[in-house]
Chain A
Amino acid sequence: MLPYAAWLCWLFPLIGALLTPIFAKFHPKLRDYGAILFGFLGMVMAFSMIPDILSGAAWINAPPMLWYEEAIPWISIPGFTTLEWGVLVDPLSVFMACVATGVSFLILVYSLGYMHGDPSLTRYWFFMQLFVGGMVLLVMANNLLQTFIGWEIVGLCSYALIGFWYNRPNMVYDDQLGEVTEGKLNSHSGMKAFVVTRVGDVGLLISIIFIFFFTVSVGNPTFNYQVLLSDFAWLGNMALFLNGVLMFVVLLLFFLGPIGKSAQFPLQFWLPEAMAGPTTVSALIHAAAMVKAGVYLIARMAPILVEGFYQVAVPIAQLVLVNFFLIIAVIGTFTAFMAATMALVSRELKKVLAFSTISQLGYMFMAIGIFAFTAEGALGYTAGVFHLAAHAVFKALLFLSAGAVLHAVHSKYMDDMGGIRKAMPITFVVMVIGALALSGFPPFSGFWSKEAIFASAWFLGFNLGSLWGWIFLFFGALTGILTFFYSLRMIGMTFLGEPSKNVKDLTAEGKPVHEAPAVMWVPLAILAAATVVIGFLEPFLKQFFFAFWQNTYPSIPHAPHLSDLLTMYIHYFQEVFASPTFLITLGVLFVGGFLGYMFYIRRSWSPDFVGRGFLGRIHTFLYNRWYWNAAMYKIFVSGGLAFTRGMFSNIEAKGIDKFNYVLADGAMGLSRRWRRIQTGVHSWNMILLLIGAVMFLVLILLFQFLGGVLLIPLPFFP
């Protein structure tokens, strides 16, 4: 490891962000290449931690180096605790840091070409680097609070970058098809992303504070992951509260954060609008940074909770934990299916990719949810984490190649594309590779991870006889069919078939569709190569994680690790190709591929058969994203604003403030009446004087009888 690499890998992008406005004062070129340089330095630092994690070649026989952290005091509370600002170096954090910095470095390079000539590039580079820095900070943090800080930096940058072209309109394609619920402007989309994810963050912050509270209650106040892991008294204590209800609520609120950030049901509706920003931003959000944060956080906490499951011998805690993980898996599965159906009918190229991101994230949550149930389910965890990496690479690839297409055809609708394969051969090839990886086509990366996810569901259903396993497997497979279908639809509509009117117009105007410049396609080629290579890392990664776990999470059951690399690979391939889930994967690919081929590649069948009847209604339902977006707007935006206005006019203005004026008017009226006794008539004055004197006498007599109990002798001031 390079010195201080765990710090510098997130400090470099942050420093780069701060230097960007200064560099911009000197020369725009310095600013652009400065950003690339700091991104590169961050990546070097992140990758330099890999050897430490492997700690030589000994890891296969001896368990690898466990983990270590470095921290400096941040806020010290005397007699209570010292909160730290620290980094945690363990396989998960290093893995995530490498994925985030590596992919985002390529995205930064690509931006050089893609964003060339934009007037607000200083702002762009500033927020892009802050985004990367926030993400890596989140990943490397050694405690929950610091993770939350990175988490919010990421959210802030998404706000700024989705709304980067803040005055550009973001209209929907066809307003006959339903309400126009999308904002009129890109800045609206950014705001939507921030507020919706913020709802999740509220849950997360509450949950973090409660975890802190329970660590305080057992006398060990901390936010630190490893300290949480070292003693599970806090978890047991939490389970005792309200008979486990509080624990369930706290865990669900914790999951609300990832639900918001990773766009899972019911907060998934911000992500499609997030396509309003530059394509590079979309790529960064979907591949390297933002949405992966949610999966990372669950991947970080899940082993801690599962370890707690085995170590805390409180039945109610175990019941709560099982149900919690079940909910993770159910939400993941449902979201995967829901988003895939939306992708079937989308007309915008980037929106297809956005829906597919939601769908693939659902797979990851499904796998990590299954992880808690079975010994083999530990497979699910590695599958989920690995799918994260695989998805990062192929989704960056897909977005960046989509960006190249958008750049060339000047439209975001797939109806305006078509027949551009000859004009953009490199983009076509890499995008096909990306689409195949997305669909889980062997030997691309998506295949290995998706097969492993199916395998974990299979174990749950077949080996444990759980109905949930079959449900997950069924919907997982169904989503797989849909995935291959919409991937082929995307490729077919974008590159194949007859050129559309828009493409012909462009050619006629003398701006024919052209291949992207080298600065754009070279990162694409690298990503495409990575898509092929990274799939073969899975067994390695799996074995490594298991070996690591043996020390760090001793109670979690998992498959034993094998003695050497070759055996491991042979065993792995035997396992994969002999397993029933391999056949399931192939079947899924066949069905989805056949339909997609017939409709959109060979075009023997026409998708027009949907028509206007029942299928047409389903189409409308899907196109409007199950009306979830519209419902949310109706309830929380229009409804919420109407509610606040009603509160203002009825309670504030007509109630509380009115009361003050009533009081004031009453006082005025009283004084007006009181004034009448000031008649100036001498006899009246004398009568009142008499009444006053009598009352005074009565008071004196009263005090006489009370005997001075209340009268305390008062000495002089001070």
Chain B
Amino acid sequence: MAFFWYLTFTMLLMIIGAPIAWIIGRRNGQYSGYFSLLIMLACVVTFGLAWWEVITVGYYVEGFFWGPFAFGWLLDGLSVTVAGIVLILTTAATSYSIAYMKKEHGKSRYFALLLLYNAGILGVVMATNLFQFYILWELMLIPSYFLIAEWGTKPQSTSIALKYFIFTHIGAVLIIVGIAGMWSLSNLGGNPTLNMSSLLGSTIDLSWIWPLANSAQLLAFEITKVIVILLTIGFAVKMAIFPLHTWLPDAHAEAPTPISVILSGVMIETAAYAMVRVLMTFMLPAYGAFTLILMIFGLITMLYGGIMALAQKDTKRLFAYSSVSQMGYIFFGLGTAVLLGVIGATFHIFTHALGKGLLFMVAGVLILQIGHTRGRDANAMGGLAKKMPWTATIALIAGLSIAGTPPLAGFASEWIIFAGGALGYTVLLVMFAVASTAITAAYILWFFKRVFFGTTPTELENTTDSPWTMRIPMIILAALIIVLGIWPAIVLNPLFTALPPLLPMVPP
């Protein structure tokens, strides 16, 4: 085991780095940008050391006691995958912010909040205690509220940030009620705790959930059903599942683009992660009662989001609806309650983060190089493939990955989700789910055609490609998409080893 608190150090770096970044940037905001990037790179290093422990040992955990309250950080095959992509994408977005936010006001505050936001997302994924999980869940929400409100598109950004806050907060309230319910259940089992590993022990050792034996246990089972409903709705708000999705297109489209990258790329996926980590791990029997409903809502979301994306001409709004659609895939995969489907959904967290993060970065490049109104209107652009070849190539790679084209990463995760759906004996749903990939291809290619092909408007003759601080993170992410598409086992193998013990009752 480690003698150095890698993960605590990682989290502290970001949390303590935030006020320092603010102080450093008082005179010149650009410094706080470079400082934040340094912090994030340091975090990548310390996290990488912890990752190495996971590779060699299989898991990595740090625990603390605060009175009777045990909390800490856990990396296993599941959380290391999600935390890895969180860190990759937030670092890329931080680097990207430096150029993107160059001409904005209040950069020192921006980067301080950004660091806190990154810390919140990373912490949610690694939390070992449900109460800690909830606190970090809110830490994720609050900085992003300010980031959207202050640096989003004026003048509607404040009201949109409020909408985002209220929606997500209602979800969070449902989650805390659900967590409280779980605590009382564990109390019923004789071992009151919110520590996830103890909870896991109590659910497996005390077989009071299944099979049912007496009326108290029946009551407990009914309570777990209520908890499942609460938590599912709470997480579904974050994942923007139809019909709770309307906050997402607004927030993701009007946020400053690096924040959109993080919002769409990793933040909404933390809810998908939490569904595996909290919901499926602890309450599978009750969860199993709802799987068909979850799949149907996932299916509606993926089709609805795709159809909505086809109707958009604002690039960022198009990508936002595409995120809604992709969350539908993940929800569908989780709803299958089959190992293959869940693993596919978890892997899709990774691949969607890469693809959608990149697409938002492309949208940001267009905004930066063309201007805020014109650079977002897909119909007003055209013929940019010649002007910005790097951006066009990267957009094509990312878009086709989202559309599930082999040999890119998106295909690897999508077919596993679909196969999981088939193994869950949902014939008709799988057919519609696969059909929605054609809609995805249509809106991605149509976007591509409108922006990058055709005749260049005369005003855009002098457009140039992105600056290097933006381009380098994009190239790295695009390369990851290709590598993972050809050899998905890099990410899949940890998942395949980690998930079966975590979900012992899930059929393969």
A residues sitting closer than 8 Å to B (CB atoms) are 74-80, 145, 148-149, 152-153, 155-156, 159, 163, 166-167, 184-185, 187-188, 191, 194-195, 198-199, 201-202, 205-206, 209-210, 212-213, 216, 246, 253, 640-641, 643-645, 647-648, 652, 656-657, 660, 664, 712, 714-718
Contact = CB atoms under 8 A, between A and B. Distances in A.
14 contacts: A76-B493, A80-B339, A163-B453, A166-B453, A184-B454, A210-B427, A213-B419, A644-B307, A644-B311, A652-B308, A660-B246, A712-B184, A715-B187, A718-B70
Contacts of B423: 213, 216
Interface residues of B, number: 62
B308 A647 contact: yes
B426 to A, nearest CB: 10
Given A198-B438, A206-B431, A716-B192, 18 more contacts: A74-B487, A75-B492, A75-B493, A149-B406, A152-B411, A159-B445, A166-B385, A184-B454, A198-B437, A209-B421, A210-B430, A644-B311, A647-B311, A656-B245, A660-B163, A712-B188, A718-B68, A718-B194
A75 B488 contact: yes
Contact of B496 (A78, A159, A648): A78
Nearest to A145: B415
A656 B405 contact: no
Interface in B366-406: 383, 385-386, 400, 405-406
B438 A153 contact: no
B453 A644 contact: no
B407 A153 contact: yes
A163 B493 CA distance: 38
Given A152-B405, A152-B411, A647-B311, A191 B192 contact: no
Contact of A212 (B166, B422, B431): B422
A715 B423 CA distance: 44
Contacts of B497: 78
Contacts of A712: 184, 187-188
Interface of B: 68-70, 163, 166, 184, 187-188, 192-195, 243, 245-246, 307-308, 310-312, 339-340, 383, 385-386, 400, 405-407, 411, 415, 418-419, 421-423, 427, 430-431, 434-435, 437-438, 441-442, 445-446, 448-449, 452-455, 487-489, 492-493, 496-497, 500, 508
A76 B184 contact: no
Contacts of A195: 438, 441-442, 445
Nearest to B435: A202
A711 to B, nearest CB: 12
A660 B405 CA distance: 36
B419 A199 contact: no
A716 B192 CA distance: 8
Contacts, number: 143
A79 B452 CA distance: 47
A7 to B, nearest CB: 14
Contact of A213 (B422, B431, B488): B422
A199 B411 contact: no
Contacts of B339: 80
Contacts of B187: 712, 714-715
Contacts of A716: 68, 192
Contacts of B163: 660
B241 to A, nearest CB: 12
A209 B383 contact: no
A148 B406 contact: yes
B441 A167 contact: no
Nearest to B414: A205
Given A195-B445, A656-B243, A202 B430 contact: no
A659 B383 CA distance: 40
A652 B493 CA distance: 40
A242 to B, nearest CB: 9
A212 B430 CA distance: 13
Given A213-B422, A656-B246, A156 B405 contact: yes
A47 B187 CA distance: 72
A167 B438 contact: no
A212 B340 CA distance: 12
A709 B312 CA distance: 55
A171 to B, nearest CB: 14
Nearest to A647: B307
A206 B193 contact: no
Contacts of A216: 423
A192 to B, nearest CB: 9
A74 B484 CA distance: 12
Contacts of B195: 718
A80 B312 CA distance: 43
B387 to A, nearest CB: 12
A159 B427 CA distance: 31
B69 A717 contact: yes
Contacts of A184: 454
B317 to A, nearest CB: 10
Nearest to A194: B445
A657 B320 CA distance: 15
Nearest to B434: A206
Contacts of A643: 307
B441 A156 contact: no
Contacts of B405: 152, 155-156
B311 A187 contact: no
Contacts of A253: 431
Contacts of B312: 648
A644 B312 CA distance: 9
Contacts of A199: 438
B453 A185 contact: yes
B310 to A, nearest CB: 4
B311 A77 contact: no
B307 A212 contact: no
Contacts of B385: 166
Contacts of B421: 209
Contacts of A212: 419, 422
A712 B216 CA distance: 12
Contact of B192 (A246, A660, A715): A715
Contacts of A167: 383, 386, 453-455
A212 B418 CA distance: 11
| B70, B411, B431, B496 — most chain A CB neighbours (10 Å) | B431
Given A185-B454, A660-B246, A74 B489 contact: yes
Contacts of B418: 205-206, 209
A641 B454 contact: no
Given A77-B340, A149-B411, A712-B184, A191 B449 contact: yes
B427 A246 contact: yes
Contacts of B427: 210, 246
A210 B422 contact: yes
A313 B449 CA distance: 52
Nearest to B393: A123
A348 to B, nearest CB: 22
A644 B245 CA distance: 17
A648 B386 CA distance: 33
Contacts of B422: 209-210, 212-213
Nearest to B406: A149
Nearest to B313: A645
B406 A202 contact: no
A78 B508 CA distance: 10
Contacts of B454: 167, 184-185, 187
A210 B442 CA distance: 24
B308 A648 contact: yes
B58 to A, nearest CB: 13
A136 B492 CA distance: 27
A385 B361 CA distance: 47
Nearest to B70: A718
A79 B343 CA distance: 14
Nearest to B416: A75
Contact of A657 (B184, B246, B445, B455): B246
A191 B406 contact: no
Contacts of A714: 184, 187
Contacts of A77: 340, 496, 508
A153 B311 contact: no
Contact of A202 (B166, B184, B411, B434): B434
